[in-house]
Amino acid sequence: MNPTREAVSALRNARSVAVLTGSGVSAESGVPTFRDAQTGLWENYDPMDLATPEAFARNPELVWEWYEWRRKLIGEAKPNPAHEALSELEKRVPDFTLITQNVDGLHREAGSENVLELHGNIHRTVCSKERTTIEPENFIEGTPPKCPNCGAFLRPDVVWFGETLPVGVMEAASEAARNCEIFISAGTSSVVYPAASLPYEAMESGSLVIEINPDDTPLTAVADIVLRGSAGEILPALSSSGE
């Protein structure tokens, strides 16, 4: 059977689906990947000087300004057909979980509701000490601004290199992977752990694993169905399978 038809047929009757998305999905909205954003003013900086706890401790102003610049870039992006297709798929599947490595918030903007953000959300700001979310109207002005409760610097609510993923979010992602009938990996290189372990957890539990990617990844050789192409091209065809 044609791989696309096979995927469409499987999804038509699926009661539980988990989807993992990566930077390839956001790239189709014009969101630069982390390393692609090392341009212009920032091209001479190593990512390790901009996205680690040590970098923030050493030069919080530099790190804050880098993330402010990235927020502006991301703020100009809009959801693409892949985001919209996943939002539609969620409406049709009784038990649907969207797990994303992206920090841009575009899945929620497209209407997805049950979203697990493994690496955080660049639009949220937290206290670097207490990790509580602080709304912009409550910032104590500065670069970076400070927490109104304890006076510590504020930081973007993202997972930096060397930091662990939020325990509750990763546990929920693992549970979704283990309990789904179909697991879709879309636009991710399948090399960043622990997210890259999720399709294997799904496979071990008997799930059908579908990979959507223009290129081969470590997952390609073991996925049940491999669909070559961009998520923006393929996901709309899959999400309309029940119509």
- What's the pLDDT band for 73 if we cut at 50, 70, 90? confident
Q: pLDDT band at residue 40, thresholds of 50, 70 and 90?
A: low
User: What percent of the chain has pLDDT above 90?
Assistant: 82
User: Is 119 one of the annotated active-site residues of the chain?
Assistant: yes
pLDDT for 36 beyond 80? no
Q: Average pLDDT for residues 109-138, to the nearest whole number?
A: 97
Q: Which domains does the chain have, with CATH numbers?
A: 3-29+79-119+164-239 (3.40.50.1220)
Q: Residue 242's pLDDT is what?
A: 47
Which of 83, 107, 119, 123 does the annotation list as catalytic? 119
In the predicted structure, residue 49 carries a pLDDT above the cut 90: no
Q: Record the tokens describing residue 229, joined without a space.
A: 């192409």
Task: Output the pLDDT for position 47.
Answer: 74
pLDDT digits (tens, 9 = 90+) for 90-100: 999 999 999 99
From CA 36, how far away is CA 32, in angstroms rounded? 5
Average pLDDT, the chain: 92
Question: Per-residue b/e over 149-184, b at no fewer than 16 CB within 10 Å?
Answer: eeeebbbbbbbbeeeebbeebbebbbebbbebbbbb
Say how many residues make up the chain: 243
Q: Could you give the CA distance from residue 73 to residue 77 in angstroms, rounded to a whole number?
A: 7
pLDDT of residue 32: 74
Please calculate the CA angle 148-154-157 and round it to the nearest 5 degrees. 125
| Per-residue pLDDT tens over the stretch 207-243 | 999 999 999 999 999 999 999 999 999 999 987 754 4
Per residue in 164-204, pLDDT (tens digit) is 998 899 999 999 999 999 999 999 999 889 999 999 999 99
Pair 36, 77: CB distance under 8 Å: no
